Amino acid sequence: MIGSFRNFAKSKFAGILVGIIIIPFVFWGMGSVFSSGNTNSIAKINKENISTQDFIDHINQSNIPAETIRNNLDQNIIEELLSGLVSTKLLNLEIKDFDISISQNTLLKKIKENKNFLDENGVFQRIKYEKFLLENNISAAQFEKRLKDREKQKNLFDYIGAGTVSPKFLVKRLYEEENKKLKIDFIDLKNFYSSKENITNSDLEKFIDENEDQLKVDYLDFSYAKITPQNLLGIDEFNQTFFDKIDQIEIDISNEVDFNSITEDLKIKSIDVSNFRFSESKSEIEKKIFELRNNSFDIFENENEYILYKINKSEQRKPDLNDNEIKKEIIELIHQKNKFDYNKELIDQITEKSFTEENFLKMSQKNINTITLNSVRDNKKFEINAVKLLYSLPEGSFTLVNDEKNNIYLAKLKKFENVNFTDDNFNENLSAHNSNIKQSILRSYDIFLNDKYDVTLNQKTIQRVKNFFQ
């Protein structure tokens, strides 16, 4: 693998992304798909390996500069690129199952119709085609293969989403439902919640006693050591020798070699931490160790270094109100619970139809806010899912809604105002509705693929690819 990295480092980011369809499937981002395994492969689809070299070739073909990848490692660019490769592999398997093919005549027709290869009269120019291949450092065979793959994928999606045409009456109904205006009266509930300042020490102690098991705080004693090429080998380069050392550490951990023995053998200083309690003010390394505490002895990669750690002691304690950070957290929990209880009481009254217009006017004290929403997509005031909820209720209804900052409002639906549907509306919305239906079908197909194929990703190899770019 390291040898592949060396070759990769010497190569140019050549080629161009021509017609490769990259689709992030729903299984991506699920922690369960990551597992350790053979470091010669970066992923598996069923029993078929995707090698590290396959992935490197895929990166080369993407034409993304190394600097761009380096600057976007924290944005999961490696994972996105790998997702694209896995997606392409899955699609190729499906194309094979469906026996989808593209004739040579169809392929040539696509090339001759490409506007990049036409003159001002719309006539195909061979010289333009050859110039394109030369400028993009790609052979005719490579380009035609990628074009053929793209057309096969397109045919697959056309096949899966075939026949998705919305009838006029449905488009009309959906348009009218989604675009009618809605006038709403609403009350901001922030003034109805009890204040944090009114929460006493007695309230805090009572809350802790009632919820002690849920509120217990984890405290850790642990040791850790930073491992870099500099403190391990006296150099700044991540080379083969360094990774061999890391591999040996992993073997030692699996063989239950003592933490102190490893650090002493490597002549690396360790750091001891006692009575650690998680908070955002702690260092990123210590917070990461806390997150990984269930695995009491391990090593992980952190930016430009590896961290070897050992959990020495772990215990749960009752919250200490002498700790100001803990006290603030408990106060916030009580405040949120009070808000929840108040909101729930209102919702229960609304559900039981015991909340009336009189109750609404009494709460408002004649200080009512009014807004008109222009469609189900109008989220200028309320969060979009709250708007969808409002549009699903009848006139005169009461409900609770939130905005983007999660402020809560008591709303009353006053009046819907219908809109006129025309043929122009139909033409404008038909394509969108057909597309929505097709996307829904493809999402279902996406889930189907997730169930059909067993996809396993090698986290350690992914991390080492990231490390190369760092």
Cα–Cα dist 208/443, whole Å: 45
pLDDT at residue 8 greater than cutoff 80? no
Residue 312 and residue 246 share a domain: yes
Residue 267 and residue 127 share a domain: no
Cα–Cα dist 404/423, whole Å: 35
Q: What is the pLDDT of residue 162?
A: 58
pLDDT digits (tens, 9 = 90+) for 263-307: 999 999 999 999 999 988 899 999 999 999 999 999 999 888 999
Is 437 within a domain?
A: no
Banded pLDDT at 228 (limits 50, 70, 90) = very high
Residues 6+ apart with CB under 8 A from 406: 383
Q: What is the mean pLDDT of residues 217-230?
A: 95
Which of 317, 350, 378 is the endpoint of a domain? 317
Q: What is the pLDDT of residue 453?
A: 87
More confident residue, 377 or 6: 377
Is 432 within a domain?
A: no
pLDDT digits (tens, 9 = 90+) for 384-405: 999 999 999 999 999 999 999 9
Is 171 within a domain?
A: no
Which of 301, 317, 333 is the endpoint of a domain? 317
Residue 11 and residue 107 share a domain: yes
pLDDT digits (tens, 9 = 90+) for 51-89: 888 898 888 877 788 888 888 888 889 988 998 888 888
Q: What is the mean pLDDT of residues 189-195?
A: 91
Residue 451 and residue 367 share a domain: no
pLDDT at residue 348 greater than cutoff 60? yes
Q: What is the pLDDT of residue 196?
A: 92
Q: What is the pLDDT of residue 191?
A: 87
Residue 396 and residue 311 share a domain: no
Is 210 within a domain?
A: no
pLDDT at residue 98 greater than cutoff 80? yes
Q: For a pLDDT cut of 90, what percent of the chain falls above it?
A: 43
pLDDT at residue 368 greater than cutoff 50? yes
Query: In angstroms, how far is CA 10 from the centroid of its own chain?
Result: 32
Residue 132 and residue 39 share a domain: yes
pLDDT at residue 252 greater than cutoff 60? yes
Residue 399 and residue 258 share a domain: no
More confident residue, 351 or 40: 351
Output the domain CATH number for residue 372. 3.10.50
Domain count, the chain: 3
Contact 401, 390 (CB under 8 A): yes
Is 424 within a domain?
A: no
Residue 311 and residue 352 share a domain: no
Which segments of 359-452 are extended strands (E)?
A: 369-373, 398-402, 408-417
Which of 317, 346, 365 is the endpoint of a domain? 317
Banded pLDDT at 242 (limits 50, 70, 90) = very high
In whole numbers, what is the pLDDT of the chain averaged over residues?
Answer: 83
Residue 155 and residue 134 share a domain: yes
| Helix 423-452, helix 168-179: angle, nearest 10 | 100
Residue 389 and residue 409 share a domain: yes
pLDDT at residue 165 greater than cutoff 90? no
Residue 394 and residue 262 share a domain: no
Of 34-38, 100-104, 128-132, 361-365, minimum mean pLDDT range: 34-38
Give the structural domain span for 17.
Answer: 2-160+447-469
pLDDT at residue 1 greater than cutoff 80? no
Q: What is the mean pLDDT of residues 312-324?
A: 91
Q: What is the pLDDT of residue 414?
A: 94
DSSP annotation of 124: B
Residue 460 and residue 388 share a domain: no
Is 147 within a domain?
A: yes
Q: What is the mean pLDDT of residues 337-366?
A: 92
More confident residue, 175 or 406: 406
Is 63 within a domain?
A: yes
Q: What is the pLDDT of residue 11?
A: 32
Cα–Cα dist 128/162, whole Å: 35
More confident residue, 220 or 467: 220
Is 346 within a domain?
A: yes
Residues 6+ apart with CB under 8 A from 274: 221
Q: What is the pLDDT of residue 89?
A: 87
